[in-house]
């Protein structure tokens, strides 16, 4: 994105990703949307190999491991075009956040984990929320008590997306319970350590996120597997969320775009009272309205990614993009389902799954109230906005 709009290279990338998604992902997308986690994980293996072959897992990781630089706007394009076709496929977002955390660890730990994570032979997931502490990142109770060169970890994380198929998780812990957000640290914990128990957590949508409930019972974690300095985990977490919120926003908007396309195609085929339903303003006006809102939300997302590429602060923009885009997507998909009618309400139509997915994304990485609080505080000041 140079100035206003996308560069020729970015438009070429969009077309290449679109062709790949339609050819390789579309045929099995509806079936994958209904699979249980274990079956879905196995079904995604061939797709993971294709993604690795395309080089997407090498984007913006250290050069030592074969990394190649790409701007964040282009990463957003990849996310958007894949999610339009098959939301169960995660093309680039996770490895970006993982790399930012893993590079904070000692080099030998990076050497151990980067290669299998890049090849997708192993998987990593993040766990920051708990039963009694969702968006209150400093209110967690999972404790990591220092014992010499180790931490002893006790507590739980829920939901911990991806844990049922993960080989390692990054979780937030309290290393100093009395220090508030300054007492939060991040630990890199392999899931095969004694004391780690993972249980699948059934959801009504977003099956590709593999939600889980994870407990830690006297888990012994080396201090050298702490990410960054002790007590600075809250700040690292906030930076990670700035990125993940934009990805969530684009994934929801992609579902909305796909739903608009379905509704437009249907409106030009379906007839009532001798006329195509597209000829009625009760059908065409909602399509026009939602198309406008989706485009506005997309531009907000891409402007936020552009700010990130410029090295500028974008916390407020990420919060705006996440809240607004998910809200726009929920309303758009719901109304497009109504336009399509009973066929759209069937589980044989992907629009029903899209609606369940975006409803879940209203909660992930902070619900609307939290995003509005972030925006208000940055606009008005913490003491005024509450």
Identify whether 1 is part of a domain.
no
Range of the domain at 58: 8-104
118 contacts 51 by C-beta, under 8 angstroms: no
Segment among 59-63, 124-128, 137-141, 376-380 with least mean pLDDT? 137-141
CA nearest neighbour of 130 among 193, 198, 215 = 215
The answer on 272 and 201 residing in a single domain is: no
Of 227, 257, 280, the one marking the end of a domain is: 227
The answer on 323 and 209 residing in a single domain is: no
| Range 334-356 average pLDDT | 94
What Rg value do the Cα atoms of the chain yield, rounded? 21
199: domain CATH number? 2.40.110.10
Identify whether 116 is part of a domain.
no
pLDDT tens digits, one per residue of 36-46: 878 888 999 99
Q: How confident is the model at residue 364, as a pLDDT? A: 85
What's the rounded Cα separation, in Å, for the pair 249 and 17? 19
CA nearest neighbour of 116 among 93, 95, 91 = 95
19 contacts 85 by C-beta, under 8 angstroms: no
The answer on 40 and 183 residing in a single domain is: no
What's the rounded Cα separation, in Å, for the pair 340 and 223? 55
What's the rounded Cα separation, in Å, for the pair 170 and 187? 6
Write phi, then psi, for 69 (nearest 5 degrees). Answer: -80, 140
pLDDT tens digits, one per residue of 120-162: 999 999 989 998 887 787 789 999 999 999 999 999 999 988 8
Of 227, 258, 292, the one marking the end of a domain is: 227
**Above 80 in pLDDT, residue 385?**
no
Count of domains for the chain: 3
Which residues does 83 contact at the CB level (< 8 Å), separation at least 6?
89, 250, 251, 254, 255
CA nearest neighbour of 233 among 168, 156, 151, 173 = 173
Of 227, 258, 282, the one marking the end of a domain is: 227
């Amino acid at each position: 994105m140079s100035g206003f709009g996308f560069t020729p290279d970015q438009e070429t990338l969009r077309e290449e990703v679109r062709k790949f998604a339609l050819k390789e992902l579309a045929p099995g997308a509806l079936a994958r949307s209904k699979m249980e986690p274990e079956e879905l994980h196995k079904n995604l293996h061939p797709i993971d190999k294709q993604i690795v072959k395309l080089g997407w897992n090498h984007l913006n990781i250290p050069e030592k491991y074969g990394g190649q630089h790409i701007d964040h706007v282009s990463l957003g394009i990849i996310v958007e075009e894949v999610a339009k076709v098959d939301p169960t496929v995660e093309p680039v977002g996770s490895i970006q956040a993982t790399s930012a955390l893993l590079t904070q660890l000692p080099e030998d730990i990076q050497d151990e984990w980067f290669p299998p994570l890049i090849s997708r032979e192993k998987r990593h997931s993040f766990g920051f929320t708990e039963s009694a502490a969702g968006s209150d990142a400093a209110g967690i109770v999972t404790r990591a008590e220092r014992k010499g060169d180790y931490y002893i970890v006790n507590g739980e994380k829920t939901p911990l997306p991806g844990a049922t198929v993960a080989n390692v998780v990054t979780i937030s812990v309290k290393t100093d319970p009395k220090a508030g957000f300054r007492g939060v640290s991040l630990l890199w914990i392999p899931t095969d350590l004694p004391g780690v128990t993972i249980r699948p957590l059934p959801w009504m949508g977003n099956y590709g996120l593999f939600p889980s409930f994870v407990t830690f019972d006297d888990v012994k974690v080396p201090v050298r597997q702490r990410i960054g300095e002790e007590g600075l985990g809250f700040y690292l977490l906030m930076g990670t969320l700035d990125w993940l919120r934009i990805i969530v926003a684009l994934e929801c908007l992609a579902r909305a775009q796909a739903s608009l396309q379905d509704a437009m195609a249907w409106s030009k085929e379906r007839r009532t009272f001798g006329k195509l339903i597209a000829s009625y303003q009760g059908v065409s006006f909602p399509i026009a309205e939602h198309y406008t809102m989706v485009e506005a939300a997309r531009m907000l997302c891409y402007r936020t990614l552009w700010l990130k590429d410029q090295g500028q602060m974008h916390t407020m923009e990420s919060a705006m993009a996440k809240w607004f885009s998910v809200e726009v997507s929920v309303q758009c998909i719901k109304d497009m389902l109504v336009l399509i009618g009973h066929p759209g309400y069937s589980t044989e139509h992907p629009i029903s799954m899209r609606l369940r997915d975006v409803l879940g994304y209203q909660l992930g990485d902070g619900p609307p109230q939290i995003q509005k609080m972030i925006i208000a505080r940055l606009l008005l000041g913490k003491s005024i906005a509450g």
